């Protein structure tokens, strides 16, 4: 069956304070590409246009890391299945999904320094629980309680009930049908986690010149004190003056002209004030 054309790329960046030298800082980074499969299928066809686009995205990512960082790349392939079949069948289905992709990567990246690891999950109950807990599905709490049941319950060495059977019969199977429609397709997948180390140098802090200290402002000159001038009003004082009694005497003067005297011309005059 054909691989569905879905790709999910997520990136998680973690910093570890383990410098390789006095200047270098090592950062561990992981990128994840997820491939989704049809129910009960492990077929991976990189020749199909949609599947090729997904696969090329993964190969380009690994090649880019190899060119930039030139260090060992760790690739983990993790496969899972939805819980329709029995546990053993789903575990085998998970391994086939992982191996199909693993073999293809070995062919495409044979000359690269890559270390591979594989994980087969089988029934992906943990992710199903997470999907349900973050959804708005009806009877969410009751369904989550069913997921917390043991995988099998035995009495006298015989299996009397299972988690899957309890979930399939809850509410006449309507809840199981809703889970199959909304969440099971997201469990049929292989995740490819690419982990590598990035070595960088810390950014040098920008050197800023210290701002000059502000010059002290001169103290403001004190305002001159205005003296109040008190103007005393001087009242005029009248001083009584006694009237002086004047007695004008009658004055007169006799005069003569010397020029006329020299010529023997008789000359005489009388002067007296008019007032």
Return the CATH fold of 7-128+184-200. 60s Ribosomal Protein L30; Chain: A; (3.30.1330)
Of residues 44, 16, 13, the one with CA closest to residue 31: 13
Phi, psi of 33 (to 5 degrees): -115, 130
Domain edges within the chain: 7-128+184-200, 136-182
Residue 220 CB partners (closer than 8 Å, separation 6+): none
The SS3 call for residue 252 is: coil
Crossing angle for the helix pair 49-69 and 87-108, to the nearest 10 degrees: 60
Q: What value does the mean pLDDT of the chain take?
A: 80
> Which tokens is 214 given?
């502000």
Segment 167-205, tens digit of pLDDT: 999 999 999 999 999 999 999 999 999 999 887 767 777
pLDDT band at 112 (very low <50, low <70, confident <90, very high): confident
Long-range CB contact pairs, 49-53, < 8 A, 24+: 50/3, 50/4, 50/5, 51/2, 51/3, 51/5, 53/5, 53/7
Q: What is the pLDDT of residues 72-94, one digit of tens each?
A: 899 999 999 999 999 999 999 99
What is the arithmetic mean of pLDDT over 264-274? 64
Query: pLDDT category, 272, cuts 50, 70, 90?
Result: low
């Amino acid at each position: 069956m054909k691989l569905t054309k879905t790709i999910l790329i997520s990136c998680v960046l973690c910093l570890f304070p383990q410098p390789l030298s006095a200047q270098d800082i090592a950062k561990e980074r992981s990128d994840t590409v997820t491939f989704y499969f049809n129910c009960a299928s492990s077929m991976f066809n990189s020749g199909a246009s949609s599947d090729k686009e997904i696969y090329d995205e993964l190969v380009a990512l690994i090649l880019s890391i190899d060119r930039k960082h030139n260090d060992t790349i760790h690739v983990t392939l993790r496969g899972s299945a939805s819980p329709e079949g029995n546990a053993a069948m789903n575990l085998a289905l998970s391994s086939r999904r992982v191996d199909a992709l693993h073999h293809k990567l070995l062919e495409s990246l044979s000359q690269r320094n890559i270390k591979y690891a594989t994980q087969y999950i089988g029934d992906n109950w943990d992710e199903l629980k997470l999907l349900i807990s973050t959804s708005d599905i009806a009877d969410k709490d009751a369904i989550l309680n069913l997921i917390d049941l043991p995988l099998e319950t035995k009495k006298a060495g015989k299996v009397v009930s299972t988690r899957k059977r309890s979930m399939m019969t809850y509410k006449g199977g309507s809840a199981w049908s809703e889970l199959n429609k909304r969440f099971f397709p997201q469990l049929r997948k292989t995740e490819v986690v690419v982990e590598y180390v990035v070595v960088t140098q810390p950014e040098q802090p920008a050197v800023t010149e210290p701002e000059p200290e502000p010059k002290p402002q001169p103290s403001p000159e004190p305002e001159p004190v205005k003296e109040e001038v008190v103007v005393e009003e001087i009242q005029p004082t009248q001083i009584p003056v006694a009237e002086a009694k004047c007695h004008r005497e009658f004055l007169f003067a006799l005069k003569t002209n010397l020029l006329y005297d020299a010529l023997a011309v008789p000359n005489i005059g009388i002067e007296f004030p008019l007032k």
